[in-house]
Every structure is written in structure tokens, then in C-alpha cells.
Structure 1
Amino acid sequence: MKYNPDGQFYKVTTTIFQFTFLNILYLLSCLPLFTIGAATSALFEVTIRFADDERGELIIGYLQALRTNFMQATASFLLLLFPIVALTYSSLFWFSAETILASVFALLLTVAALYLFIVLVYCLALIGRYENSFKHTLKNAFLLPLSAPVRSLGLALIPVTAFCVVILFPVVKMLLLIFGFSFVIYCSSFLLLSVFRKQHA
């Protein structure tokens, strides 16, 4: 078969290889755990750019974004992570009480935790997409779910769906490790782009 660097097969295989390597790089970047926010923000930056047909270098772009976004993304991640964990833990506690009042309270806590999770996703994506102060980025992240509730719910459902698929089909775990995280973030990038475009329309 004749080698054609401009052929569709070459482009597809190159893209798959890049996303696979990007996924591995992302997982390695998350190993200290507190760097998950910076790694996710960097991944959002390159995948949103890719989804918006801006292309660019995925790997080099990721490494540059990881360094550039580190401080803001890490601060946002730690700031929002603790209340999300606290609300989730509290909701599980109240659900275990098995009373109607406790269940209603637990449901409210669950909704609050979900809202903060969506805010976190927006915050990390905004840091990767736009240059802005930490205060304004956080403010915009809290307001976006209210202006685009359906798309925002979709942002939460994409990772939840991926998690459920892994639980139901353990064989998918290997695919998740190979390119799953970068693929999930890439899928989320299209929703994020539609929200961002709506706000700038």
C-alpha cells in the first residue's frame, strides 16, 4: 500500500495515536491527585481547540497548557472539591436514615453536589479556553449552568454514563485506560463549545 500522509487512513490513525498518548499523559499528570484540576483543564484546552477545528499540536499543546493553567486550575479544583465531597458524603448519610424527610434533604444535598460538579467542569474548561482573572472565571462558572441548564446537565451525564458503562462492562476498563478519559473530555468539548458560543452570540 502506497504511503500517503494526506490520506484519510493516515489522518485517522494519527489522531487515534495522539489521543491514546494524550490519555496516558493525562493519567500520569493526575498521579499526585492534587494536579487533577490542572491536568483536566489542560485536556479541556486542547480538546476544545480540536473540536473547534483549530487543531494544533495535542501533546505539545497539552504540556504547555498544563504549565500555564496550573495555578488557577489547581486552586479551582481544591476550592470546589471539598464541598462536593462533603455534600456527597452528607447525602449518603441522610439517605441511609430511610425516612421521607431525610431522603428529601439527601436529595437536595445531591442536587447541590451535582451543581458544584458542573461548576467545576465549567471552571476548568473556562481556564483552558479563556484568559481571565480567577474571580471572574469562578463567577462565570457558577452562572453558566443557570443560563444553559440542559447542556449543563449533559456535561454531568457524559462522565456518569462512562462510569456506569465501566461498572456494567468491566472489559471497558482497559479502553478507558487507553484513550477513554481523553475521549470523554473530547465529547464534553462539543457541549462546552455550544454553551460558550451561545454566551458570545
Structure 2
Amino acid sequence: MNLLYFACCIPIVTIGAATAGFTFVLRKLANEEPVFLASDFFEGFKKNWKQSTVVFLLDVILFLLLPFSISFYQAQVSSSWMFYIPMVLCMSALLIYFMMHYYIHLLIVTTNLKIKHILKNSFLLTCIGLKTNLITTFFIVAIVALTVIGVLFFIPLIILIPLVILSVIGFIVCYNSYQYIIKYVVEPYYRDMPIEEIPEQIKRTLHLDEDEEETDDEAVFRDMGRQEVPDQPAEVQTKVKKNKTIS
């Protein structure tokens, strides 16, 4: 899948759409759903290319602007300590926007939200799952650092980057982040919806099909022991039989 992703990124402008297809496959893997690698990749690619391309263009702007701003303010610190404030703000914004990407493409391939709502929800989920996001970031940094160190000592290991490393990082992100999308975005939306109107894929994700089976089992096997009618005197039973009617 890594090679397929890199091949689709060659035209540059398709990086966003390729990332959507890549995320779509990894989300299904993290959610333990059946995966058909090529067909699922291109399904995510085709369905989400517009929004993912907009996000890619936004990434180009912000991932160039924020580091440039940080370096600019850092150079000005020697003239005034006040430049520490905008420098720290830009560094915080860069970190937050980076962690928002744990949710942005997952929301794109999971929901039908507009871009502004995707960005808003990604920011909120980044704040809600801050502890998990920091753990995810730690694993990403550790994997990248170990890969770089390994390549420095044994150059042929560089082949692992296009073959393994990207998928491992992507899977960790999807596995750790998708739980928050389910809990705070998907479940609240479908909570009050009639179960027959909920798509089958969402039912499987929320395990609603299991709830239906349990409900059916309860309807078939029911303990009636507590509903036994106590014995009544013969006179009362006779009176009840005389008064019984059919409606």
C-alpha cells in the first residue's frame, strides 16, 4: 500500500486525495473491517479528493508560514525578549495543527461534513484527546528517530521508509484517534436515529448489529417464572371464569 500511495503522490496535486485513500484503508484496518487494498484505496481517493485537496493546499500554506514565522521571531529575540511571545504562539499553533491531522483525514473519509466543520471538530478532538495525541506523537517521533539512526548505520534500511514505516505510523494514528471520532462525532449523530435507517457500515462500527441479536434473543427466551399466578380459592376461580370475556 505504501508503494501505491507514493505512486499516486507523484503528480504532487494528488497528494491530498492519495492521503484520503491511504487513510480510508488504514481506518478499516484499525476498525477490524474487511479490506480490499486497491479497490478500497481508490474508493477513498475518488470520494474524498475535493476536500482532501483543499486540506493539502492549506497544509502547504501553514507548514511553510508557521516555521518561517518561528525562525523570524527567533532571530528577533536578541533585540527584545518580547519576541518570545509570538514565537511560542507560532510553535504552539504548529504543534496543534500537526496533531489536528490525526483527525482531519479520518473525518473526511468518515463523515460528510464541510471543511470548516472538519477543521473545527479536528481542533476540538485534538484538545479532548490531548493525552492520547501526545502519546501518538511520541511514537511517531520514536519511529522516525529509530529509522534515521538505523539508516545512518546501515543505509539499505532506507528501503523500509516506502515499504513499512509510513503504514506503521498511519495505523498508529488511526487506531489511537478513531475512537474519539466514534465517541464524539458518529455516536451522537446516530443516537436518536431509527436503527433501520442507520447504514450497515455504521451498525458494524457501533456494534449495533450485536445489540439487535441480543434483543431478539431476549424476545425468544424470556423467564416467565415471576409471572406465575398464585393459587386462588375455588369460589374465586369460578367467578373469574364466569366474568371472562373476549374482545
TM bin (shorter chain): 0.7 to 0.9
Equivalent residue in structure 2 for 1:178, among 149, 163, 172: 163
| CA distance, structure 2, for counterparts of residue 40 and residue 149 of structure 1 | 23
Q: CA deviation at 1:43?
A: 1.1
Name the CA shift for 1:81/1:161 in 2 (closer, same or farther; >3 Å): farther
Q: TM-score, normalised by structure 1?
A: 0.78
Q: Distance in 1 between matches of 2:46 and 2:97?
A: 25
Segments of 4+ moved more than 6 angstroms: none
Shift of 1:198: 3.1
Give the letter aligned to residue 26 of structure 1.
Y
- With over 3 angstroms needed to count, the CA separation of the structure-2 counterparts of 1:136 and 1:97, relative to structure 1, is closer
With 26-35 and 98-107 compared, the bigger mean Cα shift is at: 98-107
Paired letter, 1:191: N
- CA-based RMSD of the aligned residues comes to 2.2
Residue equivalent to 2:99: 118
Larger relative contact order, structure 1 or 2 (CA cutoff 8 Å, min sep 6): 1
Query: Structure 2 unaligned runs (5+)?
Result: 189-247
Distance in 1 between residues matched to 2:141 and 2:64, nearest whole Å: 16
Equivalent residue, structure 2, for 1:166 = 147
* 1:162-190 CA-partner distances (Å, limit 9, x unpaired): 33223322144211121221221011111
Aligned to 1:130: 111
User: Partner of 2:39 in structure 1?
Assistant: 60
Paired letter, 2:167: S
Query: In the aligned structure 1, how far is the partner of 2:46 from the partner of 2:111?
Result: 15
Once residues 150 and 74 of structure 2 are traced to their aligned partners in structure 1, the CA distance between those partners, rounded to angstroms, is 27
1:37–1:124 contact (8 Å) kept in structure 2: no
Q: Equivalent of 1:43, from 22, 26, 29?
A: 22
- Deviation, 1:90, is 1.4
- What is aligned with 1:5? none
**How far has the Cα of 1:119 moved from its partner?**
2.0
In the alignment, the residues of structure 2 paired with residue 35 and residue 158 of structure 1 have an alpha-carbon distance, to the nearest angstrom, of 27
Q: Is the 8 A contact 1:158 1:188 kept in 2?
A: no
| Equivalent in the alignment of 2:177 | 192
Q: Are the aligned partners of 2:136 and 2:172 in contact in 1 as well (CA < 8 Å)?
A: no
Measure, in 1, the Cα distance between the counterparts of 2:29 and 2:85.
42
Aligned length: 180
1:95·1:106 contact (CA, 8 Å) conserved in 2? Answer: yes
Amino acid at match of 2:25: V
- Give me the identity figure in percent: 24
Unaligned ranges ≥5, structure 1: 1-21
Deviations 1:134-156 (A, max 9, x none): 33222212221122111223344
Counterpart in 2 of 1:86? 65
Instruction: Give 1:188's aligned amino acid.
Output: V
CA radius of gyration, larger in: 2
Match of 1:19 in 2: none
Q: Deviation string for 1:84-135 (max 9, x for gaps)?
A: 3211121123334454544453232111111112223421121122233333
User: 1:146 and 2:127 equivalent?
Assistant: yes
Asked if structure 1 preserves the Cα contact closer than 8 Å seen for 2:136 and 2:173, the reply is: yes
